[in-house]
Structure formats: structure tokens, C-alpha cells
Structure 1
Amino acid sequence: MIVVTGAAGFIASCLVTRLNAANFNDIVVVDNFAVERKLANLAGKHLREYVDRNEFFEWLDANHEEVEFIFHLGARTDTTEQDRAVLDLLNLNYSKQMWQACVQYQLPLVYASSAATYGSGTLGYSDHDDALLPLYRPLNPYGDSKNDFDNWAVNQVEKPFFWAGLKFFNVYGPNEYHKGRMASVIMHAFEQINKTGSMSLFRSHNPDYTDGGQMRDFVYVKDVVEVCYFLMHHRQNSGIYNLGTGEARSFLDLALNTFAALDRVADIRFIDTPEDIRDKYQYFTQADMSKLRGIGYDRPFTRLEDGINDYVRNYLVPGTYY
């Protein structure tokens, strides 16, 4: 059996699809299944069992001998969440309990970290030096919760025989319909264009960047799950890894390609970045991908143009799931 937590969510449900495609069908999905808007992400998938996240560790105690691998992708992912108690419960303490269970039962573990741990990026975006982890200053409590766990994990004496923490950069793609404000800019662009015929981007308040020239490392979710699949088979070289493309692209590139995928004439307008997030706004992120490449992951990452075209034409327009 393969366990996937957060399984009804965006990235995890796409991972289940990838596992099914490789004939892994004994998948135990773990989540808060009371959130009904996410359940469509699992429709039609081959699954062995649904387990509520609050009952998972009791389930694992009874079934650990049958478990082959754990993907712990469940978390409170709202970057605007200010309740640190919620983040400590779901992102830090639950992950610690997962780690300790994987140590106890010697189960390999891949867990979701985040590029939000890098904060403003003043210390760069390299995943090579764990000594930098205590020095990062994330820009929100969500980033703090992810960095707190990364720090805790690398300092543990007892570790799973294989483990990897994945610092997801700006992931986009199918199955994010339920995410609301936290959905990718591409999904918001699609909705804006269909509703108004135009798209709004934040104006630059940094003289080093033109309006729309702010840059992110946008990574297609299909690439993310390929990395997860690779690590499930690799099971060596434990550690924390970036998961982006290694190539930053501008929001203007993103907007123009969304219009192109819709066969629409681009109409892009600029609005001021809200003052409440302006001092925490990142103008550039780009993953250093040499560490993952160095352990043998050699698949090319999807170009932004191709990813947007696939996402918009094959999922957003027809309203289908991956």
C-alpha cells in the first residue's frame, strides 16, 4: 500500500493519478473528507481506502506492515493564515508525528515543504546547505511552519531510512478548482479573462522591475508528481530538495500565454499591489535545481508556454480533472 495524505487536495490528487497510471492501485488516501468541494479530485481513481486524518496514526499502527511508502502532502496551505495554533497543529506537530511513525516502522517518507521558507530570498534559493535553514526568515506564518519542520527534521538523530522534503515553488495545474484565493495565477487569469475579457496584474513598486516583470519559478503539477514518483523508486540521498524548474518567468509571460491558450487578444491592466502585502511581496524566485539533478533526476521540466496551453485547453476550458 502507498499512503498519500492531503489526497483530495491539488498536488496529492494529481500524484494519485500518476500512481494509478503506473498500476499502483492499493492507495490509502488520507484527508479531512468533510471538505466536500475537494472530493471531485478523487472521483474515478483506483483507491484502496479512505482514512480520516484524525484517525490515521491509529490506522497506521494496525496496518504498517502493509505500507510501502508514505507521501505526506497534507497541510494547511493558506499563505494568509494568521492562526499559528492551526499551523502548528497541522503543519508542524502532525508532520512530527508522521516522521516519528516512519522512524518507528521504518517507512520511507516524502513530505511537502515550500519555497515560502526562503522568505524574501536574500539568502538565495539553494537547497544545498542545511546550515542556512535557521537563518531563513519566511514572510508569513505558513512559511514559518514549513521552515520550522525542515529545521526540526534535519536535526533529528533518528530518521526514516529514506526521507525527502520537497520545497515546492509556484505550482499550477489541474485539480486546483477548490483552492479559491490560493489557486494559481493562471486559474485566476482564466476566470478573469472569461468574465471580463481582460486580466489585472500587480503594478511593480520596485524600480528594478517593470509592471508585470515580477518573476516566479512556475512549475507544472505534472512535473511535480514525476519527481515524487522518481523519489519513490530512488530511496537514497535523503534530504531537502527544491522543486521548481530552475527558470524564473514573468507574470506578463504567464498572462500573455493564458490569453494565447484561449485564442483571445491580450488585454492586460495593472493595479497597485495592496498595501497590506506590499512590504512582503516577492519580486523574484528561482529554484536552484542542481541538487535534484545531481541524484539522477534527468527529465526536462515543462516550459511555461506548454504547461499553460495544456492546463487551459485540456482542463480549465472543459472543466475536467487530472
Structure 2
Amino acid sequence: MVHPIVVTGGAGFIGSAFVWHLNQLGRHDVIVVDRAEMQEETKNLAHLSYAEYLTETEFLDKIQRDCLDFTPEAIVHLGACSSTLEMDKAYLYRNNYRYTKALAQWSLPRGVRFLYASSAATYGDGSQGYNDDHQTAPGLMPLNPYGQSKQMFDEWALRTGVMDQMVGLKFFNVFGPNEYHKGNMVSMVVQSVRQIQATGKVRLFKSYHPDYTDGGQMRDFVYVKDCLEVMAWLLEHPEVNGLLNVGTGQARSWNDLATAVFSAMDRPVEIEYIEMPERMRSQYQYFTEANMTKLTEAGYPKAFRSLEDAVRDYVCEHLLQENPYLTTEPRPPIAKIA
């Protein structure tokens, strides 16, 4: 009997990228779950292979009535509102907390592997560090409702003792192909390429913290292709569970990121610093850096790409190509950059 892999949020950024990665591994028995009103996101799936597409309401209904006509090998739950600017707490509670809880409560008693997306946004201002141990997690204080919704589920799983039967992936600043539908939440790599093509320069926010220069604010930027490797490894290692950071373990500045984009495009570096909107200043993280000890000690064997290597792959293999999407089809040789 075939036991498919369910990927919720499967038409979105990390979700569709994971469907692509599963295709690369020879898996085409994938059930994609996402919203019904998809437009831009459907482009992410155009060149990928999957067995069936269910809306998020269809899938939840089948879960709640226990009438799925298949038993999945795993549910990789990446479907959620990921906007750090979303202020509708009731919506986030339903979408990010209750939906995740329903899937977990169905999966675990049936022995279905359950991976879900937590977030580095749960770490708030970073004053309590970026350690993914279960002792400090309940005391974290996210800066925005999105982070709070993710923290709420993490705390429920820890409090009820089920966290040791699943994996909560604390993604840091993920960038890479198939994020193009995200509007103003698209990564700074995409924004930088667009700005350089239009004006020859990149605009970055000024700093309002005395310890950080303009553009010197730091993030743990992690390439989506590295995240996919981690997720696939976790499906192969059901003995590894709990909250796990997914980052490179090395913070880099926005200036570093912009410089890497200029280098990949073979353009001179020209950065302009602009004011940050008032509404963002109280919620802004000036530093994030994943402590990756836990994943390493669990036996994960692969190294993460450097920021420069990841940006070059993204820019040259995707953003400057006619088709920037992940695809199972062979690509033409990379054209010389003008």
C-alpha cells in the first residue's frame, strides 16, 4: 500500500519547494494541501509532480471526521499565515494554532510522522537567546501576533508532552526560489535584484539601535534548499523529535546580503539607507542567530551553504533565468549576465 506524504501550504514558498525536493528524491505520491483561492501560488506547482490537491478546509474536514481515504506516511505542516505584519489575532489563532493542533491530534495516535513550521519569531528580541531547548521555550516573548501564534502551539505541545513525538521547525530568515507570490514579504534578495535592475542600487533600513550601524542589523539568513535537506533527513529519522532551529548558525548583516547580490550580478555596490516605518520599529529584531547544536548532536550530517554561495545560486540559477521557479524539468545553460 502506498502511504503518501501530505504537504500543507504545499503551493506556498517552503511547501512547494519541499514538493520539488521530494520529486528530486523520486517521490511523486505527494498530497498538496493549500487554499482554494490560489492564483500566483499555483505557478509554484506548475512544473512539479503531485498526486492530489486538497483545499485546507477539505483536508481539515476529512481529518476531523476521520475519513481520509489514505494513511499518510507523514504530514509536513507548512500551511500558515507567515506575515509578521498580520494584526488579526483571531485569524492567527484559528489558522496558525487551532489548525496545527487538529493535525497533530489526528497524526500522533496513528503513528503518522508530524513535522510543523514553528518560527524564529518566537524568540522575540533575542534577549533570552536563540536556543531550541525545551526548558527555556515556554518563557519566550515574541514581538508580534504571528510569533505569538507560533509560540502558543509550541507551548501546548510542550505542556501536553507531545513535543517529543513530533518536530517543530524554528525557521530563521529563509530565502530562495518560489517565494515570488509573497508581495512585500518577499526576501531582500528578490527585492535587491529588482532594485538593482531598476536603479542600480539597493535600499536598506537605517538602524535605530546604538549597537548597530545602518544596514548592520544582523540575521541568520538560510537558503531554502538547505531547509529542504533538513526536512527530508527528519522524515528518514523518526527518532529525532522536538523543537529544532533551522538556520546556518552564523548571523550576517543586511549589508553583507546586499553585497552578495551585487557580486552575483557583477555590479558595483551602491546602498542607500532609508527610514524604517514607525509601526515596525518596536517589533524589529536587530539580531538573530540560530544555535544549531541540537540538530548537529542529533546526527544531521550536512553543512549549510554560505550566504555568498546561496545568494549566487539563487540569483544566477533562478532570479536571472526566464523561468525562476523550481522545476523537475532540465534547465538550459546559465546565460552570461549582462
Name the TM-score class by shorter chain.
over 0.9
Secondary structure (helix, strand or coil) at the match of 1:29 reads strand
CA contact (8 A) 1:212 1:250 kept: yes
Q: Percent identity?
A: 47
Whether 2:119 is the aligned partner of 1:114: answer: yes
Return the offset for 1:50.
Answer: 0.5
Does residue 1:132 correspond to 2:136, yes or no? Answer: yes
Q: Which residue of 1 aligns with 2:335?
A: none
Q: TM-score by structure 2 length?
A: 0.92
Residue pair 1:117, 1:146 contacting (<8 A) in 2 also: yes
Tell me the distance in 1 between the aligned counterparts of 2:160 and 2:98: 14
C-alpha offsets along residues 84-113 of structure 1, whole Å, 9 cap, x if unaligned? 111011100000101111123221100000
Cα distance between partner residues in 2 of 1:30 and 1:183: 22
Q: How many Å separate the matches in 2 of 1:46 and 1:30?
A: 14
**Are the aligned partners of 1:6 and 1:72 in contact in 2 as well (CA < 8 Å)?**
yes
What SS does the aligned partner of 2:243 have? Answer: strand
Structure 1 residue aligned with 2:260? 257
In structure 1, distance between residues paired with 2:69 and 2:143:
37
User: Pairwise CA RMSD of aligned residues?
Assistant: 1.4
Equivalence map 1:29-44=2 (5 Å): 29-44=32-47
Choose which of 236, 245, 249 in structure 1 pairs with 2:248: 245
8 Å Cα contact 2:163-2:241 kept in structure 1: no
SS at match of 1:62: coil
Query: Following TM superposition, by how much is the alpha carbon of 1:58 offset from its aligned partner in structure 2, in angstroms?
Result: 3.8
**Distance between the aligned counterparts of 1:165 and 1:172, measured in 2?**
19
Answering whether residue 274 of structure 2 is matched by residue 271 of structure 1, we say yes
CA distance in 2, matches of 1:23, 1:63: 24
Which of residues 29, 52, 55 in structure 2 aligns to 1:52?
55
User: What secondary structure is seen at the aligned counterpart in 2 of 1:200?
Assistant: strand
Equivalent residue in structure 2 for 1:14, among 5, 14, 17: 17
1:181 paired to 2:184 = yes
Counterpart contact for 1:76–1:91, Cα < 8 Å? yes
2:147 is matched with which residue?
143
What is the CA-CA distance between 1:245 and the residue it aligns to? 0.4
Which stretch has the larger CA shift, 251-260 or 310-319? 310-319
Unaligned runs of 5+ in 2: 327-338
**1:305 alignment partner, SS class:** helix
Report the Cα offset of residue 59 of structure 1.
3.6
Which residue of 1 is the match for residue 225 of structure 2? Answer: 222
Q: Which amino acid aligns with 2:257?
A: L
Q: How many equivalent residue pairs?
A: 320
1:79 aligns with 2:84: yes
Letter of the 1:112 partner, please give it. Answer: A
Q: Does the 8 A contact of 2:6 with 2:76 survive in 1?
A: yes
Unaligned runs of 5+ in 1: none
